[in-house]
Chains A and B, each alone.
Chain A
Amino acid sequence: MTVDEPTLPDLDPVIHAQARLRVVAALSQLNRDDRIAFPRLQEILRMTPGNLSVHLRKLEEAGYVEVTKTHRGRTPATLVQLTRRGRFAFEEYVAALRTLIDPGEEPS
């Protein structure tokens, strides 16, 4: 191991899995503090409800996603949003990817 070599950043294992990365990327497109209905998110990501639930639970355990059960009129609704922590983790992850592609580039 040489001293001069810049250390490559580690990629957040919670985000760095194809399906969860897609979920987080989609949620990152929402404006801050906006929530999206579970079925709509599922439709956008083309995932089965079971599959999406599993990944959301993982992200929720990491504190990256908040899942809220509420009512819209009389019908129950499940709303999903990225937490501040999740948004930050996603930004860090993207910055880490850029550094991996071009280690010379200073992470901004």
Chain B
Amino acid sequence: MDPSEALDLIRQERANTGRALTPDPRLMYWPWGLTWLIGFGLSFLRYGPGGRTLVALPEWVPLFGLTALMIAAGLFTGLAGARSGRSVSGPTTRQGIWYGIAWSAGFSGLAVVFGQISEALPEHLLGLLWGGGMVALVGALYMAGGAIWNERTMFSLGAWISAVNVVGVLLGPGWHALVVSLAGGGGMLVAGLIGWMRLR
């Protein structure tokens, strides 16, 4: 084994190990991309811009659909993430668990705050409050995750989601759902693809 062969072997083995221990970005991002695409898409169709109803779905469908899809995506990505890290223990595992707790704490905190003030708000602003608030949290947490793991794709996705969210909120109710569905959900699908291609 000459020196350059040894260096090649090291490169290969490190890359191979990295792939084996990193969760597949497609499995981590695509469930969320589809959740946003469908969930916020339904919201746009039912509660369109200017209070218009584009498709006469029952009132409960968008919120129920989004919640059900989010639970499914959360379980799926949680399992996929745990599975890839199952055989490693140490500081990295703890980092992952703490990061997961940050997500739960953030969502629970916002849900309590929004729940308290929702009654005082007119109907047409409710979607904007819940949608805009939660999406802002997702964007910030993805950016934080990118910072923790030095993952450029994750950080960029968070920055993109944060920007898209602000644009949507400024455009107003209805438009927000459309923008988040297409640009936000689409962004997650793209992030999964880019992350996967980088790992190969």
Residues on A facing B (Cβ under 8 Å): 16, 18, 21-22, 25-26, 28-37, 39-41, 43-45, 79, 81, 94, 97-98, 100-101
- Distance in angstroms between the alpha carbons of A31 and B93 in the assembled complex: 10
- Known contacts A16-B1, A29-B14, A44-B16; decide if A37 and B87 are in contact (CB<8 Å): yes
Interchain Cβ contacts within 8 Å, total number: 77
- Known contacts A21-B6, A101-B4; decide if A35 and B14 are in contact (CB<8 Å): no
- Distance in angstroms between the alpha carbons of A81 and B125 in the assembled complex: 54
Cβ-defined contact, B9 with A18, below 8 A = yes
Query: Whole-angstrom distance from the CB of A30 to the nearest CB of chain B?
Result: 7
> Any chain A CB within 8 A of the CB of B50?
no
Cβ-defined contact, A25 with B13, below 8 A = yes
Note all chain A residues with C-beta closer than 8 A to B3.
97-98, 100-101
Residues of B within 8 A of A (CB-CB), count: 22
Interface hit among B17-25, B35-43, B111-119:
B17-25
- Distance in angstroms between the alpha carbons of A37 and B85 in the assembled complex: 11
> Any chain A CB within 8 A of the CB of B104?
no
Cβ-defined contact, B90 with A94, below 8 A = no
- Nearest 3 pairs of A and B residues by beta carbon: A40-B87, A34-B90, A25-B13
